[in-house]
Amino acid sequence: MKLITATVMTFFLLALVSANANQAAASELGAPPAASGKDSQSIKIIKMGSQPSSRGPATNFTGTVHSEPLFQEIAPSRLSANLVTFEPGARTAWHAHATGQTLIVTDGTGWVQQWGGKIAEIRKGDIVRIPPGQKHWHGATANTSMTHISLVERIDGKSADWMEKVSEEQYRK
């Protein structure tokens, strides 16, 4: 199973890298970006690093968290993805997603917990499926960093319902 997961992740990441390289070539050739109408039916390539990364806001995160957008939704799709890195001890606040969330752990070791459940360890290569509406949090362990790709759908421009922060007591259990 680990081999299958690693293979799927490798193909996914290679596709992203390949797509980013192709966008660079198209950009150098003066190809216009896909926007709307007829162009919305054209293949769009997003160059890795072409979108600004940001630090996770203190209202929704504890500790140092960096997020790099991979892609945003383009109608009719509602899917967006971010590459998120949590420094040791960093984590999200409790939150939920109307359509659920998928995490693909690309590096390090972290924790995830659903409301009322036990903390589960997640490691590089793990894929975490969080059901729609499930209150949860995720982040790095106390001593290691963790990076994951977060796949979520936006509805009316919103991808998450943010709630209270995870207390130190909840985090240390």
Contacts of 43 (CB under 8 A, 6+ apart): 34
Which residues make beta-bridge pairs with 62? 91
- The dihedral built from the CA positions of residue 87, 89, 94 and 96, taken in this order, carries a sign that is positive
pLDDT tens readout for residues 27-41? 333 334 444 455 567
pLDDT one-digit tens code per residue, 68-80:
999 988 888 999 9
Q: Which token pair is 102?
A: 């998928």
Query: In this predicted structure, what is the pLDDT of residue 39?
Result: 59
- Continuous H helices in the chain: 2-28, 168-172
Instruction: For residue range 92-112, list pLDDT tens digits in order.
Output: 999 999 999 999 999 999 999
Delineate the domains of the chain, giving CATH numbers in brackets.
Answer: 51-172 (2.60.120.10)
Pick from 163, 162, 130, 171: nearest CA to 148 = 130
Nearest partner of 138 among 73, 52, 63, judged by Cα? 63
